[in-house]
Amino acid sequence: VLDFNDPFSTEVKPRILLMGLRRSGKSSIQKVVFHKMSPNETLFLESTNKICREDVSNSSFVNFQIWDFPGQIDFFDPTFDYEMIFRGTGALIFVIDSQDDYMEALARLHLTVTRAYKVNPDINFEIFIHKVDGLSDDHKIETQRDIHQRANDDLADAGLEKIHLSFYLTSIYDHSIFEAFSKVVQKLIPQLPTLENLLNIFISNSGIEKAFLFDVVSKIYIATDSTPVDMQTYELCCDMIDVVIDISCIYGLKDDGTGTPYDKESMAIIKLNNTTVLYLKEVTKFLALVCFVREESFERKGLIDYNFHCFRKAIQEVFEVRMKVVRSRKHQSHMQKNKRPTPNGTPRLPL
């Protein structure tokens, strides 16, 4: 099982900023996605009055540093070093309350994006049109179209048409927030094209309809094959992970309570009433592969298991290569540091 601690963690632990006006739902999103808080419990969260910097989870592959910004942050305040913050950022998530008047939010979005882009053009700008659970389907589409049009028109008027904004309809009361966060996270994983290619090879040779590579802690999928993602399919996969982890926590631990509920022996098969089989297998101590298979294809389970063994081995090799690259860079940086002269001009002696 791979260990994603240092030095590899520096490659998969980028900074994500959560921004938006007060009471837009930023803290609630973080608590629901990464801390398994019930959506109803978020009603009692206090408003954020200072920048909260947090490492989301130490037991997860998706192990980001998330900065939750209060809505009243003033970019023109001289004590606010926005250049330092934006320089090391991988993604900026701006949350807009769809049930409120969003004109002020759009003005703040424009200011935030233009400031961040000047400092770091490589930031991914993600717009969460949030709290859509209270809107009708037609109202959701109309709200998304209006916000999309206004935000891009503001950028065009400023001569910044090349800035790309991604928009998502989200709610903490369904799986849409996990789906949106999955799309954000995938953009920050350098191995994504390789993972998608491996999944495509796996499903085409195994008779599988759809496959997701899940982070079991957050239920974010870090990769899937090239076939379209159906929301109902994704929800079923999330529910299956919950079932596996919950049952494992009850029956999978040793008598003294030690051990881990999810390990290399973890596996589950659920047959649905529409001739489809849900199949979950452990890939690493952080990742699970969840597949949708037709019953007739699942009769060749031996073939699927053999192909899965090859897939898991390939996944481990992908990350081992990445770890070697990181170690090499770290070693080169250390050597260059030792070659620098000391303050009095004499060369440093190698340690």
Residue ranges covered by each domain of the chain: 15-188, 191-326
Residues 6+ apart with CB under 8 A from 246: none
pLDDT at 231 over 60: yes
CATH no. of 15-188: 3.40.50.300
Which long-range CB contacts under 8 A does 243-250 form with residues at least 24 apart? 243/268, 243/270, 244/268, 244/280, 244/288, 245/216
Note the pLDDT of residue 4: 35
Please write the tens of the pLDDT for every residue from 162-176. Answer: 999 999 999 999 999
Choosing among 3.30.450.190, 3.40.50.300, 3.40.50.720, 1.25.40.10, the CATH entry for 191-326 is 3.30.450.190
Note the pLDDT of residue 338: 66
Please write the tens of the pLDDT for every residue from 104-130. Answer: 999 999 999 998 999 999 999 999 999
- Mean pLDDT computed over 239-243: 89
Confidence of residue 343 (pLDDT cuts 50, 70, 90): low
Note the pLDDT of residue 12: 44
Confidence of residue 287 (pLDDT cuts 50, 70, 90): confident
Residue 326 phi/psi, 5-degree rounding, is: -65, -45
Residues 6+ apart with CB under 8 A from 233: 210, 292
Strands 276-282, 287-294: parallel, antiparallel or unpaired by DSSP?
antiparallel
Whole-model pTM: value is: 0.81
